[in-house]
């Protein structure tokens, strides 16, 4: 049950940071079979779910995934009601092996989650995690900034020294698109070829990576930079981080940052 405690712990932190009001946000995390065995019998199929895109490359993988309509604030108290463990059993079906004990089903954003996993695994075989949340200041920025990935990346890099170190590839931005379906998943996963973080205008952010700490830290860092931006952008700024400063940071920390924005 260690993995359940780790996942519910992160979901609780996302809630207490104010980024997952009501049922906002969702998480999916690739589990090793041994981790699944510590929770349930991985071969007992409780129910199945159908998807309308090709999941061939992730057949056999297990995911712990938040249920649709569930509240992050309730995860610690009732994980088996609010979370499920699914196994991808063929090109278009997933089997539930644990959880959703009161009849729930995977998040409405599971098409995006699963398509992002498919894409990120091509980029990084150690990839395991996708978190979507409604980070407040990231959403604020999408109301007042041009919806351009390089614009967001440059502003976020220049708000604080840590940004370019934590997300050297930058952030991608999508315009408002109806959420909860396969199409927004296709668009998001397409950007995940180059980015670990994709912002949905007037909605929130999807962040991906290897571990719970890494992805939570990525969200924290992007949201912190967005908070600083929202506090200063309409004030007279006397000094800020320059292009030369950013290049100096990248050289000092051996950071392979996205080119074409500050140089
Ligand atoms: P779910 O309750 O289906 O996970 O949806 C929450 C959400 O954030 C939609 O984008
Ligand atoms: Zn959402």
pLDDT in tens, 109-124: 999 999 999 999 999 9
Per-residue pLDDT of the chain in tens (263 residues, 90 and over written 9): 899 999 999 999 999 999 999 999 999 999 999 999 999 999 999 999 999 999 999 999 999 999 999 999 999 999 999 999 999 999 999 999 999 999 999 999 999 999 999 999 999 999 999 999 999 999 999 999 999 999 999 999 999 999 999 999 999 999 999 999 899 999 999 999 999 999 999 999 999 999 999 999 999 999 999 999 999 999 999 999 999 999 999 999 999 999 999 99
Taking the centre of ligand 2 as the mean of its atom positions, its distance from the CA of residue 207, in whole angstroms, is 12
Ligand that comes closest to the CA of residue 135: 2
Nearest 5°: the CA angle 23, 135, 142 is 115
Nearest 5°: the CA angle 169, 177, 66 is 75
pLDDT in tens, 31-44: 999 999 999 999 99
Contact of 87 with 62, CB cutoff 8 Å: yes
Q: How many C-beta atoms surround the C-beta of residue 74 within 10 A?
A: 16
35, 109, 119, 220: the active-site residue? 109
- The predicted model scores a pTM of 0.98
**CA-closest residue to ligand 1 atom 1:** 68
- What gap in Å lies between CA 260 and CA 244, rounded to an integer? 14
Is residue 109 among the annotated active site residues?
Answer: yes
Ligand that comes closest to the CA of residue 68: 1
153-182 per-residue burial string, b: 16 or more CB within 10 A, e: under 16: bbbbbbbbeebbbbbbebbbbbeeeebeee
Which ligand 1 atom minimizes the distance to the CA of 23?
2
Residue 26: CA count within 13 A, CB half-sphere: 24
């Amino acid at each position: 049950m260690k993995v359940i405690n780790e996942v519910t712990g992160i979901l609780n932190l996302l809630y207490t940071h104010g980024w997952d009001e009501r049922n906002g946000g969702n998480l999916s995390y690739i589990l090793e079979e041994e981790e699944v065995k510590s929770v349930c019998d991985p071969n007992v199929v409780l129910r199945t779910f159908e998807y309308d895109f090709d999941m061939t490359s992730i057949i056999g993988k297990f995911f712990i995934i938040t249920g649709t309509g569930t509240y992050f604030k309730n995860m610690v108290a009732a994980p088996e009601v609010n979370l499920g463990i699914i196994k991808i059993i063929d090109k278009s079906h997933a089997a539930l092996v644990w959880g959703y004990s009161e009849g729930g089903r995977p998040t409405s954003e599971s098409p995006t989650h699963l398509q992002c996993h498919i894409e990120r695994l091509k980029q990084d075989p150690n990839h395991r995690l996708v978190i979507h949340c409604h980070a407040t200041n990231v959403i604020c920025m999408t109301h007042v900034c041009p919806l351009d990935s390089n614009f967001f990346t440059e502003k976020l890099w220049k708000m604080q020294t840590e940004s370019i170190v934590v997300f050297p590839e930058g952030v991608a931005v999508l315009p408002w698109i109806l959420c909860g379906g396969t199409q927004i998943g296709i668009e998001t996963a397409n950007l995940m070829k180059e980015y670990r973080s994709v912002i949905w205008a007037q909605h929130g952010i999807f962040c991906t990576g290897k571990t719970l700490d890494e992805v939570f830290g990525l969200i924290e860092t992007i949201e912190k930079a967005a908070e600083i931006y929202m506090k200063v952008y309409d004030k007279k700024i006397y000094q800020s981080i320059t292009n030369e400063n950013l290049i100096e940071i990248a050289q000092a920390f051996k950071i392979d940052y996205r080119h074409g924005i500050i140089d």
